[in-house]
């Protein structure tokens, strides 16, 4: 058998180096555990970055995908296909929104959402060049449009020309957003819980205020639920916790639980902004990807996953609070449902490396923040196992 080291050397020869990867080759998964090529077992608290909500190897999910492969993998958006129709129905019925456009990723869902906001304004007055208001410390993806609204110079620098960059305001600062609105503003985009930016939940008053501002100015409110949606925060969509409806919502990550798929979903006001010819995709909404989406919705319901997130999320929160009290190097614990962050006084890279040595996969959200986005099917015993490893790691590092 070729050793992990040989594969890693090969990877560095052939795969473009846009990541500093951890030196493991992951091979297979089982439940909430991953195994590398050498057979080492890891408890997974990253879930492929908030993707694998159902954990690994859910038989019903796997069977549905296998059956779809045997039937048909891909058609095209020039025709209808059954899985896409069923998946769209489940999204619309569960969100109370109106229509769905399927994409292949989160960043493409954001591209579509931004196009909807621009087109909505353009349809009213085609003479102006429109602007989007986005939040500082946001993350919306790596394509050019999504980068233009990503409020972090680390990601933007060198890629987005200055005049293509959005107007930025401070997250959870309604007055700041208000002061940035002009007659050129066509939409406001924000995450309901900022993910990459460091796990910051929105204040209820902030989201309510954004809704009122968008209504007052007849512009579109876009919620990026790519990371915080799909049950992660203890309701199917994070905005449900706040009772604030967006005009456009972007989904991805856990939407397909491993199959690459995203969506933007429009509400009543935004429905009709895009017309035939305005947007398209070759792969988006293909029967394989949408069979996954459809099964994900069925399994969320069957497993009562949202209730489970609330139960386990409360337990995880309590345990992370205890850890925060115990170690001076942990500054703050933030989070909701099964989306949590521990802000530390120092960079967390050594914590992550040590945790991996001890068989725990965990990720960061910014240099000093540990991020907890486990599969939604984790149980209390897995939380205990994770906490025990982290406790050891912090004890060794303090
Ligand atoms: C991951 C993420 C994206 C981008 O999704 P990709 O599938 O990586 O393109 C967009 N928004 C948020 C909030 C994300 O967490």
Quick: pLDDT tens for 60-75. Answer: 999 999 999 999 999 9
For residue 110, the ligand 1 atom closest to its alpha carbon is: 10
Report whether pLDDT(260) > 70. Answer: yes
Residue 106 Cβ inside 6 Å of ligand 1? The answer reads yes
Report whether pLDDT(181) > 90. Answer: yes
pLDDT of res. 3: 85
Instruction: Choose one of 104, 149, 227 to mutate for the ligand 1 pocket test, by most ligand atoms within 8 angstroms of C-beta.
Output: 227
Model confidence pLDDT, tens digit, residues 1-50? 578 999 999 999 999 999 999 999 999 999 999 999 999 999 999 999 99
Numbered ranges of CATH 3.40.640.10 in the chain: 61-302
Residue 394 Cβ inside 6 Å of ligand 1? The answer reads no
Q: What is the pLDDT averaged over residues 142-152?
A: 96
Residue 131 Cβ inside 6 Å of ligand 1? The answer reads no
pLDDT of res. 1: 57
Q: What is the pLDDT averaged over residues 126-146?
A: 97
Check residues 199 and 153 and name the one with the higher pLDDT. 199
Report whether pLDDT(163) > 90. Answer: no
Report whether pLDDT(300) > 80. Answer: yes
d(C-alpha 163, C-alpha 154), whole Å: 17
CATH T-level fold of 4-54+304-397: 3.90.1150
Residue 105 Cβ inside 6 Å of ligand 1? The answer reads yes
For residue 252, the ligand 1 atom closest to its alpha carbon is: 7
Per CATH, the number for 61-302 is 3.40.640.10
Numbered ranges of CATH 3.90.1150.10 in the chain: 4-54+304-397
106 CA distance to ligand 1 middle (Å):
4
């Amino acid at each position: 058998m070729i050793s992990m080291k040989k594969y890693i050397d090969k990877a560095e020869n052939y795969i473009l180096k846009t990541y500093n990867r951890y030196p493991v080759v992951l091979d297979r998964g089982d439940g909430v555990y991953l195994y590398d090529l050498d057979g080492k077992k890891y408890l997974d608290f990253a879930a492929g970055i908030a993707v694998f909500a159902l954990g690994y190897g859910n038989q019903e999910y796997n069977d549905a995908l296998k059956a779809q492969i045997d039937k048909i993998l891909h058609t095209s958006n020039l025709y209808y296909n059954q899985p896409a129709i069923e998946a769209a129905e489940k999204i619309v019925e569960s969100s109370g929104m109106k229509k769905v456009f399927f994409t292949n990723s989160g960043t493409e869902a954001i591209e579509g959402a931004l196009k909807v906001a621009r087109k909505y304004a353009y349809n009213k007055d085609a003479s102006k060049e429109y602007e989007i208001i986005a939040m500082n410390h946001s993350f919306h993806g790596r394509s050019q449009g999504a980068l233009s609204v990503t409020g972090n110079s680390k990601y933007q620098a060198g890629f987005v020309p200055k005049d293509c960059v959005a107007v930025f305001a401070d997250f959870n600062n309604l007055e700041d957003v208000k002061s940035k609105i002009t007659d050129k503003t066509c939409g406001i985009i924000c995450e309901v819980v900022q993910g990459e930016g460091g796990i910051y939940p929105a204040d209820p008053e902030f989201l309510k205020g954004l809704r009122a501002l968008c209504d007052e100015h007849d512009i579109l409110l876009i919620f990026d639920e790519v990371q915080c949606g799909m049950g992660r925060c203890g309701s199917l969509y994070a905005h449900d916790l706040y009772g604030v409806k967006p005009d456009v919502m972007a989904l991805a990550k856990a939407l397909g639980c491993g199959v690459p798929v995203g969506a933007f979903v429009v509400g009543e006001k935004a429905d009709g902004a895009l017309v035939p010819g305005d947007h398209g995709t070759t792969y988006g909404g293909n029967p394989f990807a949408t069979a996954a989406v459809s099964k994900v919705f069925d399994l969320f319901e069957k497993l009562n996953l949202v209730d489970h997130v609330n139960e386990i999320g409360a337990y995880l929160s309590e345990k992370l609070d205890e850890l925060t009290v115990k170690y001076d190097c942990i500054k703050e614990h933030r989070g909701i449902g099964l989306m949590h962050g521990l802000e530390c006084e120092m960079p967390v890279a050594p914590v992550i490396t040590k945790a991996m040595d001890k068989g725990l996969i965990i990720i960061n959200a910014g240099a000093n923040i540990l991020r907890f986005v486990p599969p939604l099917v984790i149980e209390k015993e897995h939380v205990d196992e994770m906490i025990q490893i982290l406790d050891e790691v912090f004890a060794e590092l303090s």
